[in-house]
Amino acid sequence: MLFAVIAMLALTRAELVARMKAPVLTMSEGLVQVYADCPEDMRIEYQMPIARFAADAVELLYRGAGIRPRRFAAPGIMIHVGSVRTNLAEVVATVQTNGERVVTRIYAKSPGYVDRSRLCLEIAKAFNRAVCGRELDDAGAAAALRAASPRARAEDARNELEEWLRGEGGHDDEEALALMRKVIEPGRASHRDVLVFASRLYLYPETLDRPFVGGRTSLSFREAIEASANDPRVRLAAYLKSNELAVFGGGRGEDLASAAAAYTAFLREIVRGKLSQPELSSMLDSADDLLRRAGGK
């Protein structure tokens, strides 16, 4: 505090006036305010980027917490951009309570060298104080940030799916089904997504104690072409599967969605029973080609 007072006394009158007139940036519906107690050149270079960084973090934290953003009459997160030009990475946070309002002041003393990970943690803590009414330690703040990060969620979901495919993790059938339906990276099919989709390309009898004709408990789509001509239960299985594939193929990019649509059309033709076996085989070949394209092969 004493250092700050001495520093302020050392400023010229013009510098003092300039800092007092420095704009305060308000972000995230009033939740975040960013002050720049620094020379104009530093303010121009760092105030808006730090404000944008904080606003982006808050937006992700809202999504991660499943909370709709709300407007704040007074800020709950106040970030002060300092004037230190050396490589001081320190980020300091103080918490003040004014009635029901909790305000976290975060000081980035040297904005050019600020510890971004520490700043993120302090923003996550401040967000949870102001929005969720709870206090988090570093580990809790890190978990909140990870839950809010699309990339981290995708990584966690993929690891969970990998565990299940290896027979680990203890998921029951319903949980496994939810895992396989999950869109890990919207708009993009990973190699694992394609493999999981391919693992669904089998028909099963509606109850396992009543196998298909010939005692078969499962049929590949290729085998189903011939079997469907003599077993109505294969056509029923095709109908049920046709309603399921769109779920597994959706949200993972156009190539996988196109493959899912082609397999669905093929199954519905099996249900209709109007096409010849060579025609059905041709439809299945086309669907297989689309799936190979989705898998990058």
The predicted pLDDT at position 22 comes to: 67
Q: What is the rounded end-to-end Cα distance, in angstroms, of the chain? A: 64
**Distance separating alpha carbons of residues 185 and 168, to the nearest angstrom:** 22
Rounded Cα–Cα distance for residues 172 and 251 (Å): 24
Residue 68: DSSP 8-state:
-
Give the Cβ contact number of residue 57 at 10 Å. Answer: 23
Share of the chain above pLDDT 90, in %: 36
* Rounded CA separation 88/109 (Å): 7
Predicted local confidence at residue 177, as pLDDT: 47
pLDDT at residue number 131: 95
In the numeric block, which tokens belong to residue 77? 């997160």
Which of 40-49, 114-123, 235-244 is modeled with the greatest confidence? 114-123
**DSSP character at residue 4:** H
pTM: 0.52
- Indicate the pLDDT class of residue 290, thresholds 50, 70 and 90: confident
Highest mean pLDDT among 20-34, 167-181, 216-230, 270-284: 270-284
| Tokens encoding 97 | 């309570």
Going by pLDDT thresholds of 50, 70 and 90, the confidence category of residue 121 is very high
Q: State the CB neighbour count (10 A cutoff) for residue 153.
A: 17
Domain boundaries, the chain: 2-149, 171-294
Pick from 295, 129, 268, 117: nearest CA to 199: 295
Angle between helices 277-294 and 254-272 (to 10 degrees): 160
Tens of pLDDT, residue by residue over 63-110, are 888 889 999 999 999 999 998 888 888 899 999 987 788 999 999 999
**The amino acid at 115:** D
For the chain, give the mean pLDDT.
80
How would you class 293 by CB atoms within 10 Å of its CB: exposed for 0-12, middle for 13-18, buried for 19 or more?
Answer: middle
* Cβ–Cβ < 8 Å for 208, 217: yes
Query: What would the pLDDT profile of 156-214 be if each residue is shown by its tens digit?
Result: 655 665 665 566 655 555 555 454 444 444 444 566 667 777 777 888 887 656 778 77
DSSP type of residue 211: P
Rounded CA-CA distance 142/120 in Å is 9
Contact 62, 68 (CB under 8 A): yes
136-145 tens-digit pLDDT? 999 999 999 8
Q: What are phi and psi of 132, to 5 degrees?
A: -100, -10
SS3 at position 82: coil
Please check whether residue 292 is in contact with residue 198, taking contact to mean a CB–CB distance below 8 angstroms. no
